[in-house]
Structure 1
Amino acid sequence: MKEKRKSYSANLKLEAINYAKKTNNHAAAQKFNVDYTQVSRWRKKEEAIKNARKTSHRVGSGSLSLYPLAEELLKEWIMNCCLRGIAVISKDAKCRMTSLLTQEFRLLYPDAVHNFKASDRWLDRFMNRFDFSLRRRTKTSQKLPKDLDEKVTAFHEFINNLQIIIKSFKKCGLSNALDDDEIEYDIVLEDGNKENKEIIATAKTHNAEVTERNHLIGINERELHEFYFYVAEAKIMLMIFKFENVTNAKYCLLCINNYYPCIC
């Protein structure tokens, strides 16, 4: 079985180097339980080990960026993209960094045109410096809400009620009237009994060939609280009414074409 490779901190390497200077490489290797050739390699890289962090296990780790201003601008660009909901992949970051060094910072970093390589290793260091991370697809899905069943039931009820309203307007012929004509709705409030207020929605049908016609839709209800209307993509006007403290609330629509009550 192959022996697992060991790693040593910069502080331990310096201790081994200093001990080897006082004695020799074999004595240092025996004291620190490493191979003497390893001590010899450490002595050749003494300056690099001194400049590294004391707790680092790799020579060159923790070094500063060679192009700090360009990377700072790249960081701002990535954050702006995230705020606007634009996904940034590794290839985009590499291309953007190359563009910055060859255009905006060409005079400041003239050697970057030939020396900089947008490699995966550079990208990893850049992401570590600015605490960036890549989003990856996982096999674990998001947790479902606790009230999932209630929300699904409420959504199904909403769809069923919406279909009933759409079918009721189709019976009135309202959908045919709205196919080619432009409809304007004016809400007119009339004074009346407090217990029985009337809201009249006046629909004006405009047609270039036919004279202007006024049609009325009358709605009589007790304590009618809110009046909503929505225009669907199929050009069917959906009127949804909310009632407060009213039991068995019903509404009656007068057909636009013949003024007869619509029985839905």
Structure 2
Amino acid sequence: MSSYIRQLRQAYDANFKLMVINAKYGVSECNVRRWRAQKDSLRNANSQRKAYRGPKSGHFKEIDRQVCQYVAEKRNEGLPITRAVIQLKALEIAKELGIPPTEFKASLGWCRRMMRRNGFSLRRRTSLAQRLPSDFTEKLLSFQRYVIGLRKNSYPLDQMGNADQTPVFFDMLIVITSRWTADYIWYAI
């Protein structure tokens, strides 16, 4: 005799099926419905990708391109560029392109993401002081000899001085600027 036990077919309602799926995979019904709607884009996406958050090139590519060009021009001229300058230039370009202010606001978040997308970073100037010349000790010794020679000619010490040629700026320079990430920090000692 065979040990064959006849198994009856059993019908399950949709609610029970969803409970079983949720218990086994931890997936809710709304996720399953959304994934069915996104079936084509999910099949074409990278299999390792966990989320699809839209394009990584930004929504306003022309603004990004023109702002990058502007920053590159100003940095080649040696001018510091802050995030505020980038935001103002982006708003100006958006106005030229006819993009309404309700669509594009050039927010600080947009500026940060645009800088990350295009390889910019904020750099801080490290110093305003001059670098010491390579022949510093020779120049120091020659200056000391010069002062000793003047003293032999009976010049008093209070009439001798040294102009040290350190530049003094009367208008405050911007301390933080936007740079290409690969560039080095300027004015570094």
- Provide the TM-score with structure 2 as the length reference: 0.51
Higher helix share: 2
Q: How does 1:209-224 map onto structure 2 within 5 Å?
A: none
Q: 1:121 aligns with which of 97, 109, 112?
A: 109
Check whether the contact 1:48–1:60 (CA below 8 A) recurs between aligned residues. no
Quick one: distance in 2 between partners of 1:49 and 1:96?
39
Total equivalences in the alignment: 133
Change over 3 Å in CA distance of 1:67–1:44 after alignment to 2? same
Shift of the alpha carbon at 1:159? 1.4
Higher strand share: 1
1:53–1:62 CA contact under 8 A, matched in 2: no
What is the distance in 2 between the residues matched to 1:127 and 1:75?
9
Give the drift of 1:76. 0.7
- Residues 157 and 114 of structure 1: CA distance in aligned 2, closer, same or farther (over 3 Å): same
Cα separation, partners in 2 of 1:93 and 1:160, compared to 1, 3 Å:
same
* One of 34, 41, 62 as aligned partner of 1:50: 41
Report matched runs for 1:181-220 at 5 Å. none
Match of 1:80 in 2: 73
Deviations 1:58-91 (A, max 9, x none): 3424344322122101011111222222222222
- Over the aligned positions, Cα root-mean-square deviation in angstroms equals 4.0
Counterpart for residue 91 of structure 2 = 98
Report the CA distance shift for 1:127/1:162 in structure 2 as closer, same or farther (over 3 A). same
1:42-66 per-position Cα deviation (integer Å, ceiling 9, x unaligned): 6347449937943443342434432
The match for 2:145 is: 164
- Output the amino acid matched with 1:50: S
C-alpha displacement at 1:123, in angstroms?
Answer: 2.2
| Change in 2 beyond 3 A, CA 1:137/1:85 | closer
Give the fraction of aligned pairs with identical amino acids, expressed as a percent: 17
Equivalent position SS for 1:135: strand
Name the SS of the counterpart of 1:50 in structure 2. helix
- The match for 2:30 among 22, 26, 40 is 40
**1:97: Cα distance to partner?**
0.6
Could you tell me which runs of 5 or more consecutive residues in structure 1 were left unpaired when the two chains were aligned: 1-22, 139-150, 174-231, 235-264
2:63 counterpart (67, 70, 73): 70
Question: Are the counterparts in 2 of residues 25 and 40 from structure 1 also a CA contact under 8 Å?
Answer: no
Larger Rg belongs to: 1
Query: Residue 48 of structure 1 contacts residue 59 of structure 1 at CA under 8 Å; is this kept in 2?
Result: no
Greater RCO (CA < 8 Å, at least 6 residues apart): 2
Pairs within 5 Å for 1:5-44: 25-31=18-24, 33-36=25-28, 40-41=30-31, 43-44=33-34
For 1:169 and 1:49, the matched residues in 2 are separated by 89
Letter in 1 for 2:41: K
Deviation of residue 40 (structure 1)? 1.5
Does structure 2 retain, via aligned residues, the 8 Å contact 1:70–1:101?
A: yes
> Retained in 2: the 8 A contact 1:74–1:93?
yes
Shift of residue 133, structure 1, vs aligned partner? 2.3
